[in-house]
Amino acid sequence: MDEECTDVNMEIERDTPQAVSVVILKGGVGKSTTSMNLARQLAEHGRTLFADLDPNGHATNGLGFREAYQSDTNLGNVILEGNATPSDIIQSTDHQFDLLPSSNTLEDVEKDLAGAMQGSARVKSKIVDPLLGDEYDYVVFDCPAYPGMLNNNALVASGNVMIPIEPGSSAIGGYKRTMERLIEPAREYIDVDVLAVIPNKLSDRIDQQTEDRELLENLNTASYEVNEGQPLQEAVPSFARITADEFEQIDAGEMQTPKPGIRHRSALSRSLQEDQPLQDYDPDSDQIPYYQELAKIVANGGQVK
């Protein structure tokens, strides 16, 4: 990996409010962890709202807002029938960002959205349009791991996507399903830009034929496009880019083996147990610069070349 590809200190070149959806149609890949820590790092650059649209509520409960998750006033009262406003449900946190909490009734909200007029645009019209740029500089959506109206709302509201992906036999399959069943259908009606495909939860060496290496080789050498005219490898963050030549150097012992991607760290799982993002639980973690890079990608509206 050359010096340019390992630089996670990219400057923010845009000053435009941005919304982004963190999504993949596969559970257990660290989606909520990624979105929460992305929101925490974006909060270093501007006012940030973290919107938990996953009915499971892992992020909402993980941040300690269990009462809000079970509240009678919830997202449905804002975007469907009811007199509630976003300020009625948005919660302040101790982590510099605000939280729009998930709810134990979100599955019912999803069903009601299917029959609502402009049901895919309710989050945009009721949440993002009135808040983004006025109350918040950034909005981060943590999305469900299945296709449906909540995911559709997040895509319409944000227009930007980040896709976390973990090693394993179904890794690329999860990415392809997300593109084929969610992103591409949405692109028939709206513009959706994939800002980053993020190798996540890595733990093995890549100088051997491990699942980590297979994932990184697939992402860095794939021939298909992630956005029109943009090959997949250009959507891989710089901290996980490895060229074919660099893999050859690694195999020949001519290059020190890097540890690319967001790595498995006990501090990441413990931070959730302590109801905190990683920045607040362990500010010296070696993974924080990677979340900082992801935040700058969002702030710039894409990867800076």
Is residue 111 one of the residues assigned to a domain? Answer: yes
Q: Rounded to 5, what percent of the chain is helix, strand, coil?
A: 45, 15, 45
pTM given for the model: 0.93
Look at residue 5 in the predicted model and tell me its pLDDT: 41
Rounded to whole angstroms, how far apart are CA atoms 222 and 301? 23
Q: How confident is the model at residue 2 (pLDDT cuts 50, 70, 90)?
A: very low
Rounded to whole angstroms, how far apart are CA atoms 193 and 183? 9
Is residue 221 one of the residues assigned to a domain? Answer: yes
Residue labelled with tokens 């901290």: 239
Could you report the per-residue pLDDT of 185-195, keeping only the tens digit for each? 999 999 999 99
DSSP 202: B
Look at residue 296 in the predicted model and tell me its pLDDT: 96
Is residue 3 one of the residues assigned to a domain? Answer: no
Is residue 10 one of the residues assigned to a domain? Answer: no
Rounded to whole angstroms, how far apart are CA atoms 178 and 25? 5
CATH number of 123's domain: 3.40.50.300
Rounded to whole angstroms, how far apart are CA atoms 242 and 255? 12
Contact (CB, 8 A) for 297 and 195: yes
Look at residue 28 in the predicted model and tell me its pLDDT: 82
- Using a 10 angstrom Cβ sphere, with 0-12 exposed, 13-18 middle and 19 or more buried, the burial of residue 146 is middle
Could you report the per-residue pLDDT of 22-52, keeping only the tens digit for each? 999 988 888 999 999 999 999 999 999 999 9
**pLDDT higher than threshold 60 for residue 10:** no
Can you give the residue range of the structural domain that contains 138? 18-299
Q: Which of 295, 286, 236 is nearest to 96 (CA)?
A: 295
Domain count within the chain: 1
Q: Which of 109, 187, 107, 102 is nearest to 142 (CA)?
A: 102
Look at residue 6 in the predicted model and tell me its pLDDT: 44
Mean pLDDT, residues 55-71: 95
- 134's CB contacts (< 8 A; 6+ apart) are none
Is residue 7 one of the residues assigned to a domain? Answer: no
Could you report the per-residue pLDDT of 129-178, keeping only the tens digit for each? 999 999 999 999 999 999 999 999 999 999 999 999 999 877 788 889 99
Mean pLDDT, residues 89-116: 96
Is residue 159 one of the residues assigned to a domain? Answer: yes
Q: Which of 10, 281, 38 is nearest to 141 (CA)?
A: 38
Look at residue 3 in the predicted model and tell me its pLDDT: 39
Residue labelled with tokens 């591409």: 184
**pLDDT higher than threshold 70 for residue 9:** no
Contact (CB, 8 A) for 155 and 190: yes
Is residue 77 one of the residues assigned to a domain? Answer: yes
Is residue 276 one of the residues assigned to a domain? Answer: yes
**pLDDT higher than threshold 50 for residue 4:** no
